Amino acid sequence: MNKPCTVLSGVQLGPYALPNRVVMAPLTRNRAGKGNVPTVLNAHYYAQRASASLIISEASQISPEGAGYPSTPGIYNADHVSGWRLVTEAVHAKKGRIFLQLWHVGRISHPSMQPNGALPMAPSAIKPSGQAVTYDGHQDYVIPRALELNEIPIIVKQYRKGAENAKKAGFDGVEIHGANGYLLDQFLRDGTNHRTDAYGGSLENRARLMLEVVEAVCSVWGGDHVGIRLSPLQPFNDMHDSDPEKTFSFVVKQLNQFNLAYLHITEIGKEFPDAAGPSFDFGKLRSIWKSILITNGFYDLESANAILASGGADMVAFGRLFIANPDLPLRFAKQAPLNTPDPETFYGGDEKGYTDYPFLNA
């Protein structure tokens, strides 16, 4: 009789034979250097966590217009490539694997974060509630500028260029950020996309940009080196959809054609009763998807082992636990106590709360 699958079971992800199923989730930490270039400090942080089966890097903007937060890394120029190469070389020296997350924030920005003080861009001119995080503190979001039809191919080319730069920087693959209320998610969900052209209206049209981006990125890497992250119920960044189960079932079915390495689903949002609409069944997405499924959403060792044993997911991504426990797979293996994350040091700062969490054997 086969033993149940656990977080410590090996797994094949695309071309990579991975030693466990403990994924480091993408985590914005706001510690990039001048010009949004990764530094030696960032390389040290990621190398500390190289025992993850797979590290998914913090989100990295594909263009100057794609930025929405201070000190987040880019992947659109030669300096970014050189900075990220420090990271990939450090991770590979520890025999780790790392994918870069490609990002465009869309409307979740502020003119002070945009080139020449321009308005942020979006599928439609709909202002999100809340405030942007800027170099001058929190400021109210503005009404974004709706992208013109002839500008959309430029966005696709920027994703392709970001994928090319990630390859130059030595990454093992890339993850497309299609979640959490950023640009691709804004196009997909009907709460933020009120367009009437080929990229709005019908579900097929709203999914068009995401699928074009996936096709472009796969043309650089091949599908088996590409993942995508989706957040069907995530209300963050003032997001909603009238029928999330229909929307995300459709897009997951369409994504199968690309033979991707994985689909990364964040379950965050299911704790909000109104987010799911009439119903939402994460198991349905699992049944539709034909490759590796990574899940994420406040899992601990017990709940992660349970969903893996049930077949509900193939791998589990951990965020806060990896912030505080650079040797998380070892701690899981020994069922050892875990360090407690310090939320005060999550965003911005220096080594404190970043590279100074103790290892189990320190």
Contact 10, 331 (CB under 8 A): no
Strand-pair partners of 55: 24, 98
Cβ neighbourhood burial of 87 (10 Å; 0-12, 13-18, 19+): buried
How many other CB atoms sit within 10 Å of the CB of residue 16?
A: 15
Q: Percent helix, strand and coil across the chain, each rounded to 5?
A: 35, 15, 45
Closest-CA residue to 292 (of 264, 329, 267): 264
Extract the tokens encoding 104. Answer: 């465009």
Residue bearing tokens 């001058």: 136
CA distance 311 to 265: 15
- CA dist., res. 121 & res. 275, Å (int): 25
Cα R_g (the chain), whole angstroms: 19
182 carries an active-site annotation: yes
Report the amino acid identity of residue 240.
H
- In this structure, which amino acid lies at residue 249? S
CA distance 265 to 313: 10
- Kindly name the residue from 46, 182, 299, 354 that is annotated as catalytic: 182
Token code pair at residue 155: 């966005």
Number of neighbours of residue 305 by Cβ within 10 angstroms: 20
Structure tokens at 45: 């942080």
Query: Residue 282: which of 210, 241, 238, 230 has the closest Cα?
Result: 230
List active site positions. Answer: 182
